Amino acid sequence: MSIRLSPPETGAPSPERMTPASKLPVPKFAAPRRGGASRKRSSILLTIVMGVMAVYALLPLFWLLVNSTKTQSSLFSSFGLWFSGDFALWENITGALTYNDGEFLRWLANTVLYVVVGAGGATFLATLAGYGLAKFDFPGKRGVFAVVLGAVAVPGTALAVPTFLMFSQMGLTNTPWSVIIPSLISPFGLYLVWIYALESVPTEVLEAARMDGAGEFRTFFTISLRMLAPGFITVLLFTVVATWNNYFLPLIMLSQSAWYPLTVGLNSWNAQATTAGGEAIYNLVITGSLLTIVPIVGAFLFLQRYWQSGLSAGSVK
């Protein structure tokens, strides 16, 4: 007699009753929404906007370059946004440099003086003050912070007339000091260095230097200044551009053309060109304007690599 046992009822299907995997129903999931098309449209729109902005920024420079190559006669008879048959760039440069006993070179030297002493001094003082406000505690620090923010909000043109009255009482008008001394103050540069020094200069490093016997000035010049290099270069770029393009302050402070910067000097040439019989120097005004922007563009491109490398190093830290 043989007994046949049946598999226990465990709830699991027997191998004979199992359905093949190929016949199982496949669950349907909602397809993920892809924003590829919308991102592509946004990218195209952004490219168009940036292209328009680039054309808006570069078109005046292109016009300046094109018209600096034209002679006086072809300047008004040819299309303004393209070159003419006569290429007179070198003649125009020579004429601008030698016109009226080479006063353009004298204005260039004055501008370099104002930039080196004024912008350089403003950057150094802003670095010292910003570092001190960031790393030292003293009574009245909040008040100084409020004064600095208020000074940033006040435009320089609003202070030009009071500054002129003050300098006239001291007998400093019509001298280089009337342009250099106001340029030494840079509230915005001080604020930038202050904010940058709070994060870029660790307090632990300063305390370690003090424990090793280093004084405050030695610590600043040997340790802190290297850490502040990106902020220093940034402030230097801002102050150099602001001093190079400074127009209103020298205009009211200086009355002799011997101390004019390039901005005021070229404006005097332009005023002369707009008078009767002064059209002969109109091409010199355009060429002089082109020569004026070349040094500042070169300085920006030269300093930009130190700026970018320093900011990248700071972000990694």
For residue 69, CA distances in Å to 74, 106, 233, 235 come to 10, 23, 35, 35
Q: Is 251 strand, coil or helix? A: helix
Count of residues making up the chain? 317
Q: Which one-letter DSSP state was computed for residue 107?
A: H
Mean pLDDT computed over 191-208: 91
Q: Does a structural domain hold residue 64?
A: no
Matching residue, tokens 């402070």: 253
Q: Does a structural domain hold residue 33?
A: no
Q: Does a structural domain hold residue 10?
A: no
Mean pLDDT computed over 205-231: 91
What does pLDDT average to over the chain?
84
* Residue 2, pLDDT score: 45
* Residue 35, pLDDT score: 60
Q: Does a structural domain hold residue 66?
A: no
pLDDT tier at 315, thresholds 50, 70, 90? very low
Report CA torsion sign: 247, 251, 253, 258.
positive
- Could you give the number of structural domains in the chain? 1
Q: Do the Cβ atoms of 224 and 203 come closer than 8 Å?
A: no
Least confident range from 3-12, 61-70, 113-122, 260-269: namely: 3-12
CATH code (residue 111): 1.10.3720.10
Report CA torsion sign: 21, 23, 27, 31.
positive
- Name 277's Cβ contacts closer than 8 Å, sequence gap at least 6: none
- Name 237's Cβ contacts closer than 8 Å, sequence gap at least 6: 299, 300, 303, 304, 307
* Residue 314, pLDDT score: 45
d(CA 259, CA 39): 56
pLDDT tier at 80, thresholds 50, 70, 90? confident
Model confidence at 165: pLDDT above 90: yes
Q: Does a structural domain hold residue 155?
A: yes
Q: What is the domain extent for residue 151?
A: 72-316
* Residue 251, pLDDT score: 93
Q: Do the Cβ atoms of 226 and 122 come closer than 8 Å?
A: no
Q: Does a structural domain hold residue 15?
A: no
* Residue 28, pLDDT score: 53
Q: Does a structural domain hold residue 140?
A: yes
Query: Token digits for 238?
Result: 């801002």
Q: Does a structural domain hold residue 244?
A: yes
Per residue in 13-44, pLDDT tens? 554 454 555 555 555 545 555 566 788 888 89
Q: Percentage of the chain with pLDDT > 70?
A: 84
* Residue 20, pLDDT score: 53
pLDDT tier at 276, thresholds 50, 70, 90? low
